[in-house]
Structure 1
Amino acid sequence: MTGKEKLKLALNHEEGPILLDIGGMPTTGIHCKVVESLREFYGLEKRPVKILEPVQMLGLVEDDLKDAMGIQTTPLWSAGTMFGFKQKDKFKEWRTPWGQVVLVAEDFVTTTDEDGKTYIYSCGDTNYPPAGCMPKNGVYFDNINRVPEFDEDNYDVRDNFEEFGPISDGDLDWLKKQKEALENSDDVIMGNLGGTAFGDIALVPGPQLKQPKGLRDITEWYISIKARQDILHEIFSYQLKYAIENLEKMYAVLGDTIQVAYICGTDFGTQNGPFCSNEIFNDLYAPYYKKVNDWIHENTKWKTFKHCCGSIFSLIPELINAGFDILNPVQWTAKNMDKTKLKEAYGDRIVFWGGGVDTQKTLPFGTPKQVHDEVLECCKVFGKNGGFVFNTIHNIQPGVPVENVVAMINAVKEYNGER
């Protein structure tokens, strides 16, 4: 079956072969170190891995590796990155601190200090302080807080509007170019278009801005969820205006080339429970999500994708009511997130995209047999009556043994009757 056919089964909650997604979205991806190891394992041409997402150093899974693994999803992403530079079709080689040569965007600009820390710059402009830091022996970039201590008495909410605005003609041209290359694909095309991430904490510090101002400190932002909701409503309302306008323009270019649209990666759960009450979610976040989801459902055939880690059992009905079609990563390893109970309670109302294997323990530290067995169990639980797309519980991390990734892939193929 094609990827699109498998997705249709999942969306219609019908049993059948399960769609395998690795690398389609920013939270269903795979670190570039593991991509390189997989290419070697499968005997594919040795060449630098292209970085798809620079903060997490996610690697692009190219067609030859997709074919070897049975992946049937393809990313179609906007030109923007979380560090503000554009990522289109011009790349250069960069040697990572761990020695891997990868391909990065032209404006991916870094420096290294005497302690071995690597710094990256918003829009590639070294005239401003760095936006992110990769610690010595690190494998990702962390945001750097670049604003003074928050002064509530002298705060101007417009300082938090800077990153929102109309999409450029150049970025629309980039989407058009991708559409022309992918519109006839049998894969599920995954749209990460940007602009709809309300309160995503990875974006709050303004890594895409050369000199961010306003409410950017993460602690102050979380305080504001309870104590300054009026400010956040102003920010979200301003963001929503451009989000809808830009979706209209992007849809005019893309049409129904994409099947799934990544809406937001804001997390509401910890390992032990939600850190956001249902009341706050419904008051502060749900109105904006619902307007975006409603617009998409009324004007396109796209399905909307919400990422939310952690223990969120009691919040899932609110996500459904806000109009989301898909939930990722389905962290059944968190407290009160038993996979059987998840499936029984919500499996006929939302598609679970992820949850196929534990990425904190089993995948990195288990044996290949343990990985194989856990994957089969998850497929049987979540695949019952459809409504499931296979992905791990969040991105595949560096250090995961390649044999374990292969065991995972083989177990999915076994469940699907493909081996």
Structure 2
Amino acid sequence: MTSRERVLAALHHQETDRVPIDLSGHRSSGIAAIAYAQLRQYLGLPRRPIRVYDAVQQLAIVDEDVLQLFHVDTIELGRAFALEDRHWHEWTLPDGTPCLIPIWVQPQKENGEWVVRSARGNLLARMPEGCLYFEQVHYPFAEADDLDHLPEAFEESMWMAMKSPPGPLVAGPDGPQILAEGARRLRQQTDRAIIGLFGGNLLETGQFLYRNDIFFLLLAGQPQRAHEFLDRLVALHLANLERFLGAVGECIDIILFGDDLGMQRGPQISPAMYREFFQPRQRLMWRRVKELAPHVRIMLHCCGGVRELLPGLIEAGMEAINPVQISCRGMDPAELKRDFGPRLTFWGGGCDTREIMAHGSPAQVKDHVRRLLDIWRPGGGYVFQQVHNILADVPPQNIVAMYEAVLQS
């Protein structure tokens, strides 16, 4: 099977010649740049500039030699863009490793810490000394919202202002043409399954703009205002969806939406609140995907314990979920596979990154992965990735052990 055939077969709940593998196919299956530099050195691979495409999480672009070594079956659409040296500038990772970041992301040192400011001068994000990631510090709707200027508010929030490629390269009237050309070029160059990152976040966008606590209060105490905000937001998402799929729909295999609905102990919201505020709007977006590009599969990035929400998400049109955070309440792999396996592709849950990858031995990693694959693989409906990104403190020998376990299974 080709990589694309392997992934698509899994999404159609067919068993494959081997388990399909995702590494860096989206921004929650990647690897921290610090860990990636150490991995390349451990593998004895040639030195190459470390390109950090996601500055918030400091994720590295995984080079072709590593993708081939680990038999990776996926690729992100963003890899078709920012291919020239002029799109990158020098920066330094928290451990002192030199790297490159997109030219449109301009962290500055202030009072001994890295900060990022918006075009208006607002402090959006900070990374204090000793930290490994940027954290959001500005919420444009925290004091008062302005729904008439919702698009402008996006540029005042860390997660939406610090863009990964293609980022501003596809802004403006020529954007759809540039997107389409890049997508066609990538499709011709690879037989990997192409994942188009879209977003379409609902709960999280409210949290990014209002702040978590304030948005929860809005949902619970001012539902009419919350519905108005979400209606305005979905209208923007649908317009962007038309533009995005109109340009790349023929060239991608999976479209990725995002919304972290869970926590360690379970959902952030009740099933009733999900069905009132979010399910109808997700259904609207996901139906439109199928109208515009019927072949494209719908995946939702959704962290945390979300078992109680899965029936509603499946009803809304979700076909695959990642990262399948198996350490959370209600996310037991055997129970999830038993209860939802026929209707849902699990994309992740292949290795616990928080404890096993960071603190276990290579032998423990291999045993852990093999036991999970025995649960996930039967009957198809499974794509391997670790639970979320490989973090900066994960030893390279454990990364290698993880992929060896998958490829030997």
Name the TM-score, length of structure 2 as normaliser: 0.89
Q: Does the CA-based 8 Å contact 1:30-1:395 persist in structure 2?
A: yes
**Structure 1 counterpart of 2:2:** 2
Q: 1:268 and 1:250, CA in 2 relative to 1: closer, same or farther beyond 3 A? A: closer
- Letter of the structure 2 residue corresponding to residue 186 of structure 1: D
**Structure 1 counterpart of 2:216:** 222
Greater fraction of residues in helix: 2
**Structure 2 counterpart of 1:13:** 13
Unmatched runs of 5 consecutive residues or more in structure 2:
156-169
1:283-322, CA deviations, whole angstroms, 9 ceiling, x for partnerless residues? 1001111011101112211111111122211111111011
**Structure 1 counterpart of 2:271:** 278
**Structure 1 counterpart of 2:390:** 396
Equivalent position SS for 1:327: strand
2:117 is the counterpart of 1:121: yes
- Letter of the structure 2 residue corresponding to residue 189 of structure 1: I
**Structure 1 counterpart of 2:98:** 101
1:370-409, CA deviations, whole angstroms, 9 ceiling, x for partnerless residues? 1001111111101111100001111111010000000001
- Letter of the structure 2 residue corresponding to residue 229 of structure 1: P
Deviation at 1:263, TM superposition (A): 1.2
Deviation at 1:88, TM superposition (A): 7.0
2:260 is the counterpart of 1:259: no
1:90-142, CA deviations, whole angstroms, 9 ceiling, x for partnerless residues? 1111122321111111122122233x3210223xx4x6032111121111100
2:47 is the counterpart of 1:26: no
- Letter of the structure 2 residue corresponding to residue 98 of structure 1: D
Distance 1:358 1:316 in 2: 21
Equivalent position SS for 1:245: helix
**Aligned counterpart in structure 2 of residue 157 of structure 1, from 141, 147, 160:** 147
**Structure 1 counterpart of 2:399:** 405
Distance 2:349 2:394 in 1: 17
Q: Does the CA-based 8 Å contact 2:348-2:383 persist in structure 1?
A: yes
Unmatched runs of 5 consecutive residues or more in structure 1:
80-85, 207-215
**Structure 2 counterpart of 1:191:** 196
Distance 2:281 2:388 in 1: 25
More off after superposition, 359-368 vs 165-174? 165-174
More off after superposition, 181-190 vs 250-259? 250-259
Equivalent position SS for 2:404: helix
Equivalent position SS for 1:279: helix
Q: 1:8 and 1:103, CA in 2 relative to 1: closer, same or farther beyond 3 A? A: same
- Letter of the structure 2 residue corresponding to residue 134 of structure 1: M
Q: Does the CA-based 8 Å contact 1:78-1:192 persist in structure 2?
A: no
- Letter of the structure 1 residue corresponding to residue 124 of structure 2: A
Please show how residues 1-400 of structure 1 align to structure 2 within 5 Å.
1-16=1-16, 17-77=18-78, 89=84, 90-114=87-111, 116-122=112-118, 125=119, 128-145=121-138, 147=140, 150-151=143-144, 155-163=145-153, 168-184=172-188, 185-194=190-199, 196-200=200-204, 204-206=207-209, 216-264=210-258, 266-300=259-293, 301-400=295-394
Q: Does the CA-based 8 Å contact 2:345-2:383 persist in structure 1?
A: yes
Number of residues of Structure 1 aligned to a counterpart in Structure 2 = 390
Q: 1:157 and 1:251, CA in 2 relative to 1: closer, same or farther beyond 3 A? A: closer
Distance 1:112 1:36 in 2: 23
Q: Does the CA-based 8 Å contact 2:7-2:73 persist in structure 1?
A: no
Q: 1:112 and 1:200, CA in 2 relative to 1: closer, same or farther beyond 3 A? A: same
Q: Does the CA-based 8 Å contact 2:183-2:248 persist in structure 1?
A: yes
Q: 1:405 and 1:149, CA in 2 relative to 1: closer, same or farther beyond 3 A? A: closer
Distance 1:8 1:304 in 2: 12
- Letter of the structure 1 residue corresponding to residue 147 of structure 2: V
Distance 1:311 1:4 in 2: 30
- Letter of the structure 1 residue corresponding to residue 31 of structure 2: I
* Identical amino acids, percent of aligned pairs: 28
Equivalent position SS for 2:364: helix
Distance 2:82 2:148 in 1: 27
More off after superposition, 227-236 vs 158-167? 158-167
